[in-house]
Structure 1
Amino acid sequence: MVHPIAPKNNVYKEFQIQLKSYLSPQRTISSLNQIDSESWCQETIFFPRGFDSKNIPDQKIQKIINEIDFLDNGIVIFVGNNKVTVLIPPLPMMIEKSFPGFKSKPIIDLLNNCPTFAVVLIRLGNYAIGVIKDHKLQSSKTGSRLVKNRHKKGGSSQRRFERGRERQIKELFDKICDTAKRIFTPYENEIDYIFFGGDKHVISNFHLRCPSVKKFDQIERRLPVHRPGLKALQSIEKEIWKTHLIEFIETQNVLEENNA
């Protein structure tokens, strides 16, 4: 998974950044309780899924948000005098509101929710498909299909090889698509979100070959998986629920604390 912070501007000169990434729901709630107990938060701002950071009037907040790559699920910002903590939720936030002081109930409600997930894990040659409901893998199918590695030699033999390889990839995608339809159809009206995991380019090409998966609400965050299989499916919900917390402390304030 791509890290949610990417140094694009000069924010690292203005802030000291501390990452608390990949937190489980329990650790996220514990971190929220710590923020509450420290009593520094003066305002909590909820930005929903699909919000536009250009509409944020506060330049400091906008600069911080612009440093974060993954905003598809919305974000929550806890604001203090010289400190800002950003929470990137594992699932979409739908609330758009600002609260005085510390407010965590909408996040905790989201973390305590129990949605039904469709999961498709793909790497060339292997796939795993499943439905997770009530925190259990209810239905699944794993499989493999031969896809040859790329041919490094040139000439007509390479072109024949590439045509054969493209055919193998299409056959793999069609097999995955048919299997996904069979696994997902009994839960079609229950599935809240669909997640994909594996190789980015393979997943993008699969979408083009299997438009039927677009009927589900897709979470853009790509799940990390080394080898799709039953073991990966059984542990993937832990990845789905992981949250990012990113703490920004203004550099001047950090220097003052260190020199005190």
Structure 2
Amino acid sequence: MRVDKQKLREIIRELKKWKAHATILLSLYVPPGRPVSDVLNMLRQELSITDNIKLKKTKSAVQRALSMAIDRLSKVPKIPDKGLVLFAGENPDTGESIIVMLIPPEEVSVYYYRTDKYFHTEFLEEMVSESNIIGLLLIERDAATIGMLKGNRLKIVEELEDYIPGKHEKGGQSQRRYDRIIEQMVEEFYKRVGEHANRVFLPLYEQGRLKGILVGGPAYAKYDFLEKDYLDYRLKKIVLPELIDVGYQGEAGLREMILKAGDLLKEQEFADLLKYIEEFKLHLAKDDGLAVYGEDEVRNALEMGMVAVLIISEEREDVEKWLELAKKGGAKALVLSSDVPESEWFNKTFNGLAGILRARIYS
């Protein structure tokens, strides 16, 4: 089965649900050019030594996984041009089994086989990780939040704090000395924030995945921070031109900064999600007939070409179907990540599916 990145995300999510008490879940990655016969011989050899496994239940589960893998792989005449990935396993307690074989959207670069207590999806996760990342930095004199915007996901990487005393009116030389001490403490904090930000962002920049850095915070702290060389010179070059006034730290502050950034983040799906989730809630509150939900209602509106924006939870099993319907109906489709705080409310209240109409539909 050849899969695209959206389908691969769904498969990874399902595979991650499988956990075992013993090393019985089989993961296999085969790069293009590797003869199928070589892989089958390796699996058969692994099967032949399973008799050495002492626990009967574990032995049976491993043998079952290997047998499923051998059976499925023996039907493949040649490893495809992008390679092949296979997962097989069995739950010894329930007897439930799983076998997944797929051709990924990007070329498999490793030859890898392992049985473990979980499926090794990390090589697939690299394929679906966003290559268009925006770094996020909230900075004030005594606190900072470092985050990343990756497609439809917001991630907080680090939160930093320090104690910086406020100004006191001592007068004379004591006041000037006190002020210098405070400024030195602020400078040391900015230096620490810069070191952490460089550690997070530079590897992404060198990989060509970091497209920009959005900086925000209250008052003048963000300007003071960027004036000096706390950030690596390469990162300073990709700081987005507008600095955003934000009154909070943490996730609330990052969300506020993203919403205020507007066109600076026009290519970022998460920014669109926040904007359209807020718009959807506004239409609900106004009861103006422009919010649509319920599978039948959404489908009918799509078929009429009346949906401007379709929001689909990534937790639905039929994401691909709705993406296709949105495409046919000329709707902008956004997949709602579970990382977005509203996702739980959206899933429970609207079953993970809703839309914003171009105009009210009168029946």
Give the TM-score taking structure 2 as reference length.
0.33
Q: Name the structure with the higher helix share.
A: 2
Instruction: State which structure, 1 or 2, has the greater radius of gyration over its C-alpha atoms.
Output: 2
Higher relative contact order (CA 8 A, sep 6+): 1
Structure 1 or 2: more strand by fraction: 1
